[in-house]
């Protein structure tokens, strides 16, 4: 599903670069990697920077033809499943997910995902960004609750091998989803199986300043996190047990 892989020495944001190219029909299937990012973005517009060659900063431009807007939110969750499986296989680490799409090792964040709709119309273009901490030292970690593959004792810290594993897993999951007519049943089961948030005591900081605390009981068919009687579609979630 990927037609080209481009690598640049430095850029502000790989997501922003591909969004700017989304109107070009020939850009579909492009993967862009940067050796370093100066203005990377995470969820909720948080800044995300990367020391040169210590992280994976990668974005993918996909056009999911026939995908209904109602299930488009499953694309970043699919990416999370793909990254978890790739890190388990290629790096030999016990990765899992924190809702919605943070990738954890031992409760500490090793990777993040940001999906942005780049164009609307009959066939939306979506840019999916993936950032993975590969060889950062403890002093280079952006926050105390982060970790890198190297610090986690990964069997593999070669960035090329990890990138290829992520792209292969993403392609496999995406193709299976498309062949299922964008039905989310199998995807949702795979996500729930890898989600460490389910069953945890959590605190969710919701838009508007509301805070919700309770046991996360599951993920519904829309990809929302269930906390008690509430279904959370957006917000920052903290695992209170162990302070993930």
193-208 pLDDT, tens digit per residue, is: 999 999 999 999 998 8
Paired with 111 in beta bridges are 103, 132
Give the Å distances, CA to CA, from 188 to 2, 74, 157, 184, 191: 24, 8, 29, 6, 5
Average pLDDT estimate for 34-47: 68
Q: Are 95 and 87 in contact (CB under 8 A)?
A: yes
Residue 149 tokens, joined: 């593959």
Q: Give the residue extent of every domain in the chain.
A: 4-194, 201-239
pLDDT digit string, tens, across residues 49-95? 667 899 999 999 999 988 888 899 999 999 999 999 999 999 999 99
CA angle 140, 145, 147 (to 5 degrees): 55
Answer yes or no: is pLDDT of 242 > 70. no
At residue 31 the predicted structure's pLDDT band, cuts being 50, 70 and 90, is very high
Answer yes or no: is pLDDT of 180 > 90. yes
Q: What percent of the chain has pLDDT over 70?
A: 92
Answer yes or no: is pLDDT of 43 > 70. no
SS3 state of residue 238 = strand
At residue 167 the predicted structure's pLDDT band, cuts being 50, 70 and 90, is very high
Average pLDDT estimate for 214-243: 90
Distance CA 195, CA 181 (A): 24
Distance CA 3, CA 55 (A): 23
Superfamily holding 4-194: Bira Bifunctional Protein; Domain 2 (3.30.930.10)
Average pLDDT estimate for 16-38: 93
Distance CA 194, CA 89 (A): 14
Distance CA 134, CA 118 (A): 28
Which pairs from 155-160 meet CB under 8 Å and 24+ separation?
Answer: 155/91, 155/92, 155/93, 156/90, 156/91, 156/92, 157/91, 159/53, 159/56, 159/134
Give the Å distances, CA to CA, from 115 to 93, 129, 195, 214: 24, 6, 19, 27
Average pLDDT estimate for 220-242: 90
Answer yes or no: is pLDDT of 225 > 50. yes
Q: Are 22 and 127 in contact (CB under 8 A)?
A: yes
pLDDT for 147? 97
Give the Å distances, CA to CA, from 70 to 66, 73, 193, 222: 12, 7, 22, 8
Paired with 98 in beta bridges are 102
At residue 102 the predicted structure's pLDDT band, cuts being 50, 70 and 90, is very high
pLDDT digit string, tens, across residues 122-161? 577 999 999 999 999 999 998 889 999 999 999 989 999 9
pTM for the model: 0.92
Q: Are 176 and 91 in contact (CB under 8 A)?
A: no
pLDDT for 124? 79
pLDDT for 214? 96
Query: How distant is the alpha carbon of residue 105 from its chain centre?
Result: 14
pLDDT for 35? 95
Answer yes or no: is pLDDT of 13 > 90. yes
């Amino acid at each position: 599903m990927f037609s080209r892989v481009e690598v640049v020495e430095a850029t502000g944001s790989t997501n922003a670069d591909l969004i700017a190219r989304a109107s070009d029909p020939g850009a579909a299937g492009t993967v862009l990697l940067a050796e370093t990012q100066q203005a990377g973005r995470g969820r909720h517009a948080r800044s995300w920077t990367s020391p040169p060659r210590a992280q994976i900063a990668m974005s993918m431009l996909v056009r999911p033809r026939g995908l209904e807007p109602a299930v488009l939110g499953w694309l970043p969750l699919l990416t999370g499943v793909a990254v978890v499986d790739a890190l388990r296989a290629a790096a030999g680490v016990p990765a899992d997910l924190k809702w919605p799409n943070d990738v954890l090792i031992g409760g500490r964040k090793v990777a993040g995902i940001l999906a942005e709709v780049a164009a609307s119309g009959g066939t939306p273009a979506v840019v999916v960004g993936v950032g993975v901490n590969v060889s950062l030292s403890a002093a280079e970690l952006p926050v105390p609750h982060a970790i890198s593959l190297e610090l986690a004792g990964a069997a593999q810290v070669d960035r090329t091998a990890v990138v290829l594993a992520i792209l292969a897993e993403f392609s496999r999951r995406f193709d299976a989803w498309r062949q299922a007519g964008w039905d989310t049943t199998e995807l949702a089961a795979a996500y729930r199986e890898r989600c460490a948030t389910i069953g945890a005591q959590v605190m969710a900081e919701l838009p508007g300043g509301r805070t919700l605390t309770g046991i996360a009981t599951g993920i519904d068919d829309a990809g929302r996190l269930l906390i008690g009687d509430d279904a959370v579609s957006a917000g920052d979630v903290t695992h209170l047990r162990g302070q993930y």
